[in-house]
Every structure is written in C-alpha cells, then in structure tokens.
C-alpha cells in the first residue's frame, strides 16, 4: 500500500506531475501495487499536512510526497521515517534528510543553461531581461542563481532587470512592454515558463520588433504558438514534471532491495524548438509537455487528443 | 465670497498628483516612457482593470463589495471560448451572449444573497466566486482554451486611428457609468441607498432592487473585462485575471472612493486603476530589485491614500471656515 501526497491539478505542470504518478501506479507498476491512496492538496500546504497525517494512520508501506512547504512538512516526514515508512520526496525539496530519496530537476543547471545559451547567441554582448516565476519561491531562486552565475561570465551582457511574471502571460506582457518602451534593442530574454514566454512574444509583436533569443520550457502551448508564427530562435528544457515517474521507478527499486541515491537530480539538456516539437505527438492538447515519460500507447488516457 | 484655492483640492487629488509625479520622474529616466504610444500602451494595460473597477464602484456606492469578479471573468472566458472552440465563429457570438447572461446572473445571485438574506457582501461574493471557480474546474479542468479568435483580439489588442480599442471601450464604459451615476435616476437612488439603506427604504426607493442591480452591473463589467484581457494576451489561460478582485477594490479605494458606500467617482476609479498599472511599469523603469519594488509600490500607494485624506481634511476645514 502506497500513500501519495501531491499538489493536485492546479496548473499544467502539476497536472502533468499527477498524470505521471497515475501512469506509474495504475499501469506501469499495477501488478506490484495493492492499493494507492492519492491525496491531492489543491496547492494548499495546510491541507497537505492533514492529508499526510491521515496517510500515516493507514498502514502504508511507502509515502511519496511532493512537499508544498519546505519546512511545514518536516515533522511529518521525520515521523514517517521513525515509523520505518520509506519516504520519497519529489518535485520540490524539504529541509530534512530523513527520507529515502529526493528526486527533482537540476534547477540551478537549468538557469545556467538558459543564460549561457542566450548570451552565446548574442555573441557575448547586448541587452537581456530575465523573467522568473514567483518571487520568494525556492524553485525560482534556484533557477535564478544559475542564471546569475552564467551572466557573470559575460561582462558585456547587460541584464536590464530580473522580473517575476507570476506564470501569467498578461503580467509578463505588461512588464516586457515597459522594458521595450525604454530599450527596444533588447535581443535576449531569459524566461522560465511557457505562459510567460507567450507574454514576451506578444510584447514584441505589439511593438513591431523582431522576436528575441529566448528560453522556455517544453509546454505544448508555447511550442504550438512558435510553430504557428515560424519562431525558431529559442531553446527549451524539460519542465521537470516527469520527476514523478522517475521517483516512482526509484521507489520500486528501493522496495526490491536495490540501492538508490539519496538525492537524484535529473540531468537537463537544452533542446531546439524543432527537437521539442518533434517529441510531441500530433493532436496533443496545449497542456502536454514534450518530455513526457508516459508511453505513446497510454498517452490518450491522460491527454485526450484535440 | 472669494473662493479659496485649496478648495479645488478634492478626494481624487492624491491619485492624480501621484500619477503626474510618476510620469514626470519617468520622463527624466526615459523620455520614451511618456511618448504618446507608450502612454496609450499603458492605458491599454489598465483597461481591463479599469472596467472591472468601474463595476466594483457601483457595488461600493451601494454599500457592498464584489470579490467574485475575477471568477466571473475567468468563467466568462471559458464560456465564450467553449462556444468558439466547438462551433466556430457563430459559437463565439452565442458564447459571448451566454457569457454576458452568466455575468448578469452571477451578479443577480450575489445581490439576492446580500440583500435578501442579509449576508455580508465580503463573504457572500468571496464564496460565490469560489463556487464559480469550482464549477469551472469541474467543467473544463485546467486545460487552456487555446488562442482567442480575432474578434476578441480586436477589442483587447487592436487599434482604431492608433488608439487601442481597449482604451476606447474603457472610455465608453466610463462615460456611460458617469452619466448613470451623476445624471440618471438610478445613480441617485444607488447613492441614497448606499448613504442610508433604512432612510432610502422609507423614502420609497426600491432599495433591494437598486442594490441587486449594482451587482448585476459588476458581473456584466467582469465579462467585458474578460474580453479585453484575453484579447490583450491572445490566449485563454484558465487563470487569467487572478488577483483582480482585490486589485479592483484597491484601485477604487486609492482613487478616493469610500468603502462605506453612498458616494463614488468614476474618474477616481479610473485614476486608481491607472496608478495600479503604471506603478508596476515605474518600478521596472527605476530598475529596483523585485523585493524593493513591493516596498516602493506600498509606500507610493500609502502616500496616495494619505494625500487623498489630507485633501478631504483641507476641504472640510475650508467648509467650516466659510461657515
């Protein structure tokens, strides 16, 4: 019996994470699973506390947790550890090491790859802007550290500012329009999210400027837009929701007695737009992600074709 | 009697004084910031919030608040995009009609709950908003509804004679709202009801109906704002407009409007929405790090409210002095 506590389908990324979990337990490892208790917190850390507490009373053999708070979940994770329940952390970190393994994307490396690529495309000089997700989020700060470290290696690149687009196209478009009003010569935009990247393209469109070199994740929404307008000067990295499937693999390896690392950061590589678009089967909805670990024969269960 | 110059200062002085200061300082940093095209671009950015704030203003004048507007806005996008995605251009028209009917219906429910069942407007509209969001999630989940059609883009992005259509819509809404509030009998009734509900009832005003209608106006404005904002960004993300309920309330208040009801100004509401929008652009222009931007924006908004209340105090002193 396995307990799974996760964010819930509050956005495309979280929905993909959930789909990977369901595929792993309902299909891939169905023969090894007696029962799975899913607890969806709808993005609410307080709600998740109660859910995990509840799971620990059900006699589960393992707990898979996507912590919605780095600190609030610590006592419960440590309690599970003390009860002898193996805990797998995935998708976001937690401030304790009393778990079997922690699986996530290497977010620092993502930021580093993003900024390095943009600076290289500009030949090491010019103006750029950085657009991150949420201010104060540990995830965004990890990516930003990678961005800033890379930018430091290009002294002739001027980062006009780091703004937070709050994963909103409208917010990002407004901020980008402001940057462009004073600096129409911005040639590179480091963006950490597809919805925000849509806002950047819109701002350039409205200003009548050529699209900049840009970075983005592998969400189909953006890839479709890029294909539609013939935009190719961007790179993508996997969004990281596939960490849920990797975490499930590691759980079953652990339960089978194999050794697994305590921290597993999925390696990332940059992909061209064409490369990502080729990974996306025909007719997939906007919410589909290029780096999907659900095999093609099962995809329609989770992503019905449009 | 010679009129004292300070009597020209009114409750909206704060927001427009701050707006003017921001534009002057911005011009020193970057002359292009105050170029006509950029000013129009900022007006366009403020249009959806402005329309939402005008709707909110009607509710505020009647003595209530409407925190369901962002949920109505998001549901409206879902409704008209459902029509468009499934039935093409004709579906879009039916979807738009259905969205407006929905907005009016949601306002009707809000109004009835507040006035007939005497439930706090703050809680009522917060919960109806939550119910609307829940229904939307059950209906369509989080899946984006895709790129919006050209008709919607026409209102949110395109221009007529170089003026953004969103700004034209905002101005039309503002003029109509101004006429209703200042010249039409409904506006006078709403002000009377907001000033004293009991007195208005004894005066023979159909107070319940008047308040309910203010929520209907707010619901319809939310649908109009949904067209502008989705047309501005170009696709129908399910969470467009998040945070706009509170922003419209804040915009109305910093524009010099009074949450207690009984008075309110469309010009102030637009000033508030403009300030809420331009301040974001201003802190970016100043190049402040994100954490300082919050502090700076907070200080500017407090200064706006302070100047607004100071001007009210001066006006009151002048009035007493004249007597």
- CATH number for the domain including A171? 3.40.50.2300
Q: What is the pLDDT of residue B4?
A: 45
Tell me, yes or no, whether A205 and A125 share the same domain.
yes
| Residues A219, A153 share a domain | yes
Query: Are residues A210 and A118 part of one domain?
Result: yes
Distance from CA of A268 to the nearest CA of B (A): 26
Q: By CA distance, what is A196's nearest residue in B?
A: B233
Work out how many domains chain A is built from and give that number: 2
With pLDDT > 90 as the criterion, what percentage of chain B qualifies?
57
Residue B12 confidence (pLDDT): 67
Asked if residue B6 has pLDDT above 50, the reply is no
Across B229-233, average pLDDT: 94
Cβ pairs bridging A and B (under 8 Å): 84
Residues of chain A contacting B297 with CB distance shorter than 8 Å: none
pLDDT at residue B312 tops 80: no
**Are the C-beta atoms of A294 and A302 separated by less than 8 Å?**
yes
Tell me the pLDDT of chain B averaged across its residues. 88
Number of Cβ within 10 Å of residue B203's Cβ equals 12
Is 70 exceeded by the pLDDT of residue B133?
A: yes
Contact A163 B290 (CB under 8 A): yes
User: Are residues A129 and A205 both part of a single domain?
Assistant: yes
How far does the CA of residue B278 sit from the closest CA of chain A (Å)? 9
Q: B142: which chain A residues are within 8 Å (Cβ-Cβ)?
A: 9-12, 15, 287
Q: What is the pLDDT of residue B1?
A: 41
Residues of A with CB under 8 A from a CB of B: 9-12, 15, 135, 160-164, 167-170, 173-175, 177-179, 181-182, 195, 198-199, 202, 206, 221, 225, 285-287
Q: Would you state the pLDDT for residue B7?
A: 42
Distance, in Å, from the CA atom of B60 to the CA atom of B71, rounded to the nearest integer, reads 18
Cβ contacts (< 8 Å) between B33 and chain A: which residues? 181-182
Q: Minimal Cα–Cα distance from B217 to chain A, Å? A: 25
Three-state DSSP string of A100-136: CEEEEECHHHHHHHHHHHHHHHCCCCEEEEEEECCCC
**DSSP codes of every residue in A46-88:** HHHHHHHHHHHTTT-SEEEE--S-TTTTHHHHHHHHHTT--EE
Question: Which ipTM score applies to this complex?
Answer: 0.85
Task: Let me know whether A76 and A123 are in one domain.
Answer: no
Give the tens place of pLDDT for each residue, B239-261.
888 889 999 999 998 888 878 88
- Best B142, B238, B295 member to test A by mutation, with max A CBs in 10 Å, is B142
Is position A207 within any domain? yes
The stretch B302-318 carries a mean pLDDT of 74
Which residues in chain A have Cβ-Cβ distances shorter than 8 Å to B237?
Answer: 168-169, 195
Instruction: Give the residue among A70, A78, A18, A76 at the shortest CA–CA distance from A42.
Output: A18
Residues contacting residue B202 through CB under 8 Å, at least 6 positions apart? none
Alpha-carbon distance of B143 to B158, in angstroms, equals 26
Domain boundaries, chain B: 9-314
C-alpha to C-alpha distance for B130 and B123, rounded to whole angstroms:
10
In the CATH hierarchy, which fold is given to the domain comprising B9-314? ABC transporter involved in vitamin B12 uptake, BtuC (1.10.3470)
pLDDT, tens digit (0-9, with 9 covering 90-100), for B282-291: 888 888 877 7
**Which residue of chain B has the CA closest to A9?**
B142
**B285 and A199: CB-CB below 8 Å?**
no
A255 lies in a domain? yes
Domain hosting residue A212, numbered range? 107-237
Question: For residue A283, what are its two tokens?
Answer: 């007719």
* pLDDT band (50, 70, 90) for residue B264: confident
Residue B2 has pLDDT above 50, yes or no: no
Task: Please indicate, yes or no, if residue A301 is contained in any of the structural domains.
Answer: no
Which of residues A196, A221, A237 is at a domain's end? A237
Residues of B in contact with A161 (CB under 8 A): 284, 287
Distances (CA, A) of A279 to A22, A28, A229, A304, B160: 21, 21, 19, 17, 41
Residues of chain A neighbouring B280 (CB-CB closer than 8 A): 174-175, 178
Q: Do A244 and A209 sit in the same domain of this protein?
A: no
Query: B144–A287: do the CB atoms touch at under 8 Å?
Result: yes
**Residue A143 sits in the same domain as residue A216:** yes
Handedness of CA A42, A107, A13, B84 (dihedral sign): positive
With an 8 Å Cβ cutoff, is B234 touching chain A? yes
Confidence of residue B323 (pLDDT cuts 50, 70, 90): low
Share of chain A above pLDDT 70, in %: 100
Best residue in B29, B34, B85, B144 to probe A by mutation, most A CBs within 10 Å?
A: B144
> Is residue A293 assigned to a domain?
no
Residue B216 burial (CB < 10 Å; 0-12/13-18/19+)? buried
CB nearest B142 (choices: A10, A164, A177): A10
In Å, what is the CA distance from B322 to each residue of A55, A228, B7, B316? 72, 68, 11, 10
Instruction: Say what the pLDDT of residue B58 is.
Output: 96
Q: Do B290 and A164 touch (CB under 8 A)?
A: yes
Q: Scan for tokens 């307008």, then name that residue.
A: A229
- Measured distance CA(B222)–CA(B227) in Å, rounded: 9
**Is residue A283 one of the residues assigned to a domain?**
no
Question: Residue A164's closest chain B neighbor by CA?
Answer: B290
Task: Using an 8 Å CB-CB cutoff, list chain A residues near B143.
Answer: 285-287
Crossing angle between the packed helical segments B266-286 and B165-182, to the nearest 10 degrees: 140
Task: Say yes or no: A177 and A244 in one domain.
Answer: no
For an interface test with B, the pick among A148, A168, A178, A200 (most B C-beta atoms closer than 10 Å) comes out as A178
Beta bridge partners of A235: A215, A272
For residue B242, which residues of chain A lie inside 8 Å, CB to CB?
Answer: 168
Please indicate whether residue B57 or residue B310 has the higher confidence score (pLDDT).
B57
**Which of the two residues, A294 and B262, has the higher pLDDT score?**
A294
Q: E-strand spans in chain B?
A: 159-160, 163-164
Say how far apart CA A299 and CA A295 lie, in whole Å: 6
Inform me whether the pLDDT recorded for B298 exceeds 90: no
- Asked if A225 and A249 sit in the same domain, the reply is no
Domain match, A119 and A198 both:
yes
Candidate from A170, A175, A177 with C-beta closest to B41: A177
Judge whether B25 is closer than 8 Å to chain A, CB to CB. no
Q: Is B237 on the interface with A (CB under 8 A)?
A: yes
- A177 contacts B144? CB cut-off 8 A: no
Specify whether A134 is located in the same domain as A196: yes
Query: Are residue A229 and residue A132 in the same domain, yes or no?
Result: yes
Query: Considering only CB atoms, which chain B residues are within 8 Å of A219?
Result: none
Lowest-confidence pick of A142-146, B271-275, B311-315: B311-315
pLDDT tens-digit series, residues A187-233: 999 999 999 999 999 999 999 999 999 999 999 999 999 999 999 99
Residues 256 to 315 of B: which have CB under 8 A from any A CB? 277, 280-281, 284-285, 287, 289-291
**pLDDT at B5 (0 to 100):** 44
Average pLDDT score over residue span B165-193: 95
């Amino acid at each position: 019996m396995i307990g799974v506590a996760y964010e819930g389908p509050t956005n495309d990324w979280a929905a993909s994470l959930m789909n990977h979990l369901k595929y792993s337990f309902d299909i891939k490892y169905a023969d090894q699973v007696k029962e799975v208790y899913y607890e969806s917190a709808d993005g609410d850390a307080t709600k998740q506390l109660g859910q995990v507490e509840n799971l620990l009373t059900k006699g589960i053999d393992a707990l898979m947790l996507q912590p919605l708070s780095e600190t609030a979940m610590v006592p419960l994770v440590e309690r599970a550890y003390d009860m002898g329940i193996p805990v797998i952390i995935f998708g976001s970190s937690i401030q304790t090491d009393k778990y079997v393994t922690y699986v996530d994307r290497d977010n620092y490396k993502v930021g580093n790859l993003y900024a390095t690529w943009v600076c290289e495309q500009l030949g090491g000089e010019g103006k750029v802007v950085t657009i991150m997700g949420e201010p104060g989020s540990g995830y965004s700060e990890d990516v930003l550290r990678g961005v800033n470290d890379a930018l430091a290696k290009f002294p002739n690149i001027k980062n006009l500012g780091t703004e937070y687009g709050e994963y909103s196209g409208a917010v990002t478009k407004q901020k980008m329009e402001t940057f462009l009003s004073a600096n129409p010569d911005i040639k590179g935009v480091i963006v950490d999210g597809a919805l925000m990247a849509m806002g950047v393209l819109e701002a350039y469109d409205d200003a009548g400027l050529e699209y900049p070199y840009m970075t983005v994740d592998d969400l189909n929404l953006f890839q479709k837009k890029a294909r539609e307008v013939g935009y190719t000067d961007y790179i993508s990295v996997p969004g990281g929701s596939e960490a849920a499937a990797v975490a499930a693999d590691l759980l079953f390896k652990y339960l089978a007695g194999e050794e697994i690392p305590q921290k597993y950061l999925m390696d990332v590589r940059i992909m061209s737009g064409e490369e990502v678009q080729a990974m996306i089967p025909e007719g997939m909805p906007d919410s589909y992600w290029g780096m999907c670990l659900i095999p093609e024969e099962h995809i329609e269960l989770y992503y019905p074709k449009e | 009697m010679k009129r004292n110059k300070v009597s020209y200062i009114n409750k909206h002085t704060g927001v427009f004084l701050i707006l003017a200061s921001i534009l002057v300082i911005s011009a020193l940093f970057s002359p292009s910031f105050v170029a006509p095209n950029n000013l129009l671009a900022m007006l366009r950015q403020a249009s959806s919030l402005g329309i939402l704030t005008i709707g909110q203003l009607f509710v505020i004048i009647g003595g209530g608040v409407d925190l369901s507007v962002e949920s109505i806005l998001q549901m409206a996008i879902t409704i008209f995009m459902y029509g468009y995605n499934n039935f093409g251009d004709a579906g879009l028209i039916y979807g738009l009609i259905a969205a407006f009917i929905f907005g009016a219906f949601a306002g009707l429910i809000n109004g009835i709950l507040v006035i007939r069942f005497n439930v706090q407007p703050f809680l009522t509209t917060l919960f109806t908003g939550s119910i609307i969001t829940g229904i939307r999630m059950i209906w369509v989940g989080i899946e984006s509804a895709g790129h919006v059609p050209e008709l919607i883009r026409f209102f949110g992005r395109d221009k007529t004679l170089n003026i953004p259509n969103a700004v034209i819509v905002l101005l039309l809404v503002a003029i109509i709202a101004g006429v209703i509030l200042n010249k039409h009998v409904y506006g006078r009734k709403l002000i009377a009801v907001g000033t004293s509900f009991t007195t208005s009832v004894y005066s023979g005003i159909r107070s319940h109906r008047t308040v309910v209608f203010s929520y209907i106006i707010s619901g319809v404005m939310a649908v109009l704002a949904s067209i502008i904002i989705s047309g501005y960004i170009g696709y129908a993300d399910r969470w467009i407009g998040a945070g706009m309920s509170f922003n419209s309330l804040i915009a109305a208040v910093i524009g010099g409007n009074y949450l207690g009801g009984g008075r309110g100004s469309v010009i102030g509401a637009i000033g508030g929405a403009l300030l809420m929008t331009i301040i974001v652009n201003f802190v970016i222009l100043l190049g402040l790090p994100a954490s300082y931007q919050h502090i700076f924006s907070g200080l500017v908004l407090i200064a706006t409210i302070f100047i607004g209340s100071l001007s009210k105090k001066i006006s009151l002193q002048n009035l007493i002095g004249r007597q």
